[in-house]
Amino acid sequence: MADAANVKEEKSDAEGAAERGPALVRAPLRGEVSRRGLFSALGLGWALFTGASAGLLGAMGRFMFPNVLYEPPQEFKAGFPSEFAVDAVDERFKATYGVWIVREPTGFFALSTVCTHLGCTPNWLAADEKYKCPCHGSGFIKTGINIEGPAPRPLERYKIMLAEDGQILIDKNTKFQQEKGQWELDGAYLPYTA
């Protein structure tokens, strides 16, 4: 309501000015700021201020994401295929990289040590032939398939391949999930070729 009244008043002001003749509506003098000029400057000022604030906020957000991490790398070499005992779960890379390397008679796969329930680290119980999570009791058989406890899906596998020097190379940037049928994909399994 109040806005409408203001608009009406302005209009009548303009009409009044027109009635009084063009002499009263004069161009701004040199060094004088016109109404339009003032609002343009204000608009530009606010736009700059908003842009600068947004840029600063973005920079501060980016500050929280460091460029260098003192974590073990996502890719690592695990030694030569002949070094692994058949049917064994290799735990050498669990503490540093969070990976079990399982050697089957036909080949290898790299299993993530992150429980698919809530992210704790299960233990490989060789006598029971299963991975058992200490947090909430999820259990997985050697291949990574969940068999007991609250875990909703099998353990994930990481990409496993042979490096140029013949060593096994694990790439944790690519993961394969059984429930999505990804264990059949290239890189989820490394066939053993002596």
Partner 1 sequence: MQKLLQAVRDTQIWRSIFRHGYPDTPRNRTLAVLSNTFLHLHPVKVRRSGIRLSYTWCMGGLTFFLFLVETITGLLLMFYYRPTAEAAYQDIIGIREHVALGVMREMHRWAAHMMVITVWLHMYRVFLTGSYKPPREFNWNVGVILLVLTLLLSFTGYLLPWDQLAVWAITVGSNMARATPFLGHEGPGASLLAFGGLNFVHAGDDARFGLLAGRFVGEGALLRFYVLHCVGLPLAAATLMAIHFWRVRKDGGISGPL
Residues at the contact surface with partner 1, assessed by CB under 8 A = 64-66, 69, 71, 98, 118-120, 135, 173
Given the complex with partner 1, which of 33 and 118 has the nearer CB atom?
A: 118
User: Contact, 110 vs 170, CB < 8 A?
Assistant: yes
Given the complex with partner 1, which of 114 and 141 has the nearer CB atom?
A: 114
User: Contact, 109 vs 160, CB < 8 A?
Assistant: yes
Q: Given the structure tokens 């994930």, which residue do they identify?
A: 156
Q: Please report how close the Cβ of residue 114 comes to partner 1 at its closest, in angstroms.
A: 9
Q: Please report how close the Cβ of residue 98 comes to partner 1 at its closest, in angstroms.
A: 8
CA distance to 3, 47, 77, 91, 138, per residue, from 131 (Å): 71, 58, 23, 12, 8
3-state secondary structure 41-67: HHHHHHHHHHHHHHHHHHHHHHHCCCC
Q: Please report how close the Cβ of residue 1 comes to partner 1 at its closest, in angstroms.
A: 23
Given the complex with partner 1, which of 97 and 108 has the nearer CB atom?
A: 97
Sign of CA dihedral 52, 55, 60, 61: positive
Q: Please report how close the Cβ of residue 69 comes to partner 1 at its closest, in angstroms.
A: 6
3-state helix, strand, coil in the chain (%, to 5): 35, 25, 45
Given the complex with partner 1, which of 20 and 62 has the nearer CB atom?
A: 62
Q: Please report how close the Cβ of residue 51 comes to partner 1 at its closest, in angstroms.
A: 23
Given the complex with partner 1, which of 59 and 86 has the nearer CB atom?
A: 59
AA identity, residue 113: T
